Amino acid sequence: MTIQITQTVDARGLSCPMPIVKTAQAIKAIPAGGFFEVLATDPGSVKDFAAWSRSTGNEIVEQSADGGVFRFVLRRK
């Protein structure tokens, strides 16, 4: 499966709940099945994006952390 990321949501520097709020807003521009990435520095976003993914059905397909920046790759439901 090739993952082609069409959009990046930059939520670096934002605290809860803005990374989620910003992602929910950005997702509207992404077609169903499309991939997008979220960058966040809020450590709580690791648990929060997992929960948000379960609530909304937008699947986390990749997750990494690099120098305090968390990166999530999600597939739009």
Partner 1 sequence: MTTATFDAPAPARDDPLREAIEDVAGVPEVYGEAFNEPEQKVKELVIVNWSGDLDKVWPVLILSSTAAASGVRARVFVTFWGLLPFVKDGKRIVGENWMQKMLTLMQRPGIDHLKLSKMNFAGMGPWMMGTLRKKYNVASPRELLQAATAMGVEFIPCQMTMDMFGLKREDLIDEMGEPAGAATAIEIMTEADASLFI
Catalytic residues, by residue number, are: 16
- Give the per-residue contact string, 22-51, with partner 1 (x = CB under 8 A; - = no): xxxxxxx-----------------------
Min dist CB 55 to partner 1, Å, is 4
13 binds partner 1 (CB under 8 A): yes
Cβ 65 vs Cβ 49: under 8 Å: no
Closer of 57 and 67 to partner 1 (Cβ): 57
**Which of 25-30's residues contact partners 24+ apart within 8 Å by CB, and which partners?**
27/58, 27/76, 30/6, 30/76
Interacting residue ranges for partner 1, rule: CB under 8 A = 10-18, 20-28, 52, 55-58, 77
